[in-house]
Amino acid sequence: MSEADRRIVVLNTGSSSLKFAAYPLRPEAPPLLSGAVDGIGGQAHLKITGKTPRDSAITAADPHAAMQVLADLSDGPLSGDIAAFGHRVVHGGPDLDRSVLVDDAILAQIEAISPLAPLHNPPALDVLKGLRKRFPGIPHVACFDTAFHRGHPAVADRFAIPDALYQEGVRRYGFHGLSYQYIAGAMKTQAPEIAAGKVVVGHLGSGASMCALVNGHSIDSSMGFTALDGLPMGTRSGSLDSGVILWLQQQKGWPVDRVEKFLYHDCGLKGLSGLSNDIRDLLASDAPLAKLAVEYFVYHTARTAGALAVSMGGIDGLVFTAGIGEHSAPIRARVLDRLRWLGFALDNAANEQGTGRITAASSRLTAFVIPTYEERVIARETLALLPADRP
């Protein structure tokens, strides 16, 4: 096959999903194909867009099984001349602070820190190991969501706990770094007036966080030691007084595994509303608790934006991205309404359109909607780490 036929395959593994994209060896070019397997463990569904689109139900008990289904497709993302695999790995711990070529030692390091991201690191490892076995000799690159945030100042990086624990790795890592890395670059062309300034970026989805960017560099984030912290999410609690956890253990007798399942799966929008973890369902509902869950999400998103403005010593603009940030005009409108005091004035028509600048010409501060492409960042990082002499 010619160089033009070679591809980098990107895998973005979640607890119940497996996103993928195949890029030519020019990651700035459009992907050859992309798609996802959703609903893994239940009614799994495969969708592929590209030259040979596919939209069908499949059987996949876990992400590793979904990967095997993809590998069996003669025209799928794992076919053709694969130069390398790139993987999103949520937690890199204290030592894995940049993208790396994967070997057995790196696998062991990722496995050791998996308890810090129990929903994400283990399935990503399963997929990575499975691909190494099925496609021996092809290099793999691990790209960490925590790496982008590793330059935080000490006051944003630490908890008020003894230094010995910090040295063991108990610190505020921040997440969604691959998304923020993409947005930092995309602002240069899509929001050039604020790209070098002080910007709050809201990665708002089922998993949600916010980041303070100064000249494209992360200086603070709403997430901390794990992906439980910060904003309320689809099923995760967000910031929670640690005394609540003590109370659940001491007064209700909950063991650690029950507390973990509760915080990751039964809280957030789902727990507060008692109805759904999907913001679209909550916006459409007249149930009082559904309305409360929406307002709670809006309130804490705006509150966090204000706090991150303090971290930066000011604010020049705001960027919405990810599932809710890119697609929910009502949430964007309500967040900016709470931030009117900072100088945001919404352009309703632009907000409904949902691309580019969504604030009025008279607005003192500007807000934008910029779609994120984590897979493209992974493809770039993977290409940069490929051995120069690889055939």
Which residue is listed with tokens 């039964």?
Answer: 266
pLDDT in tens, 33-44: 999 998 888 888
Q: Name every residue whose Cβ is closer than 8 Å to that of residue 170 and which is 6 or more positions away in sequence.
A: 159, 161, 225
In the prediction, which pLDDT does 119 show? 82
Among 12-26, 193-207, 330-344, 354-368, the range scoring the smallest mean pLDDT is 12-26
Token pair of 326 as six digits: 């890119």
Letter string b/e over residues 133-165, b meaning 16 or more CB atoms within 10 A of that residue's CB: eeeeeebbbbbbbbbbbbebeeebbeeeeeeee
Beta strands in 42-165 (DSSP E): 45-50, 54-57, 81-89, 100-101, 140-144
pLDDT digits (tens, 9 = 90+) for 92-137: 999 999 999 999 999 999 999 998 888 889 999 999 999 999 999 9
| Phi, psi of 385, deg, nearest 5 | -100, 0
**Does 145 participate in catalysis according to the annotation?**
yes
Phi/psi at 55 (nearest 5 deg)? -150, 100
Question: pLDDT tens for residues 58-96?
Answer: 888 889 999 999 999 888 899 989 999 999 999 999 999
| Active-site residue (options: 145, 157, 229, 316) | 145
Domains and CATH numbers, the chain: 3-144 (3.30.420.40), 193-369 (3.30.420.40)
170's tokens: 């108990």
Instruction: For the chain, give the number of residues.
Output: 391
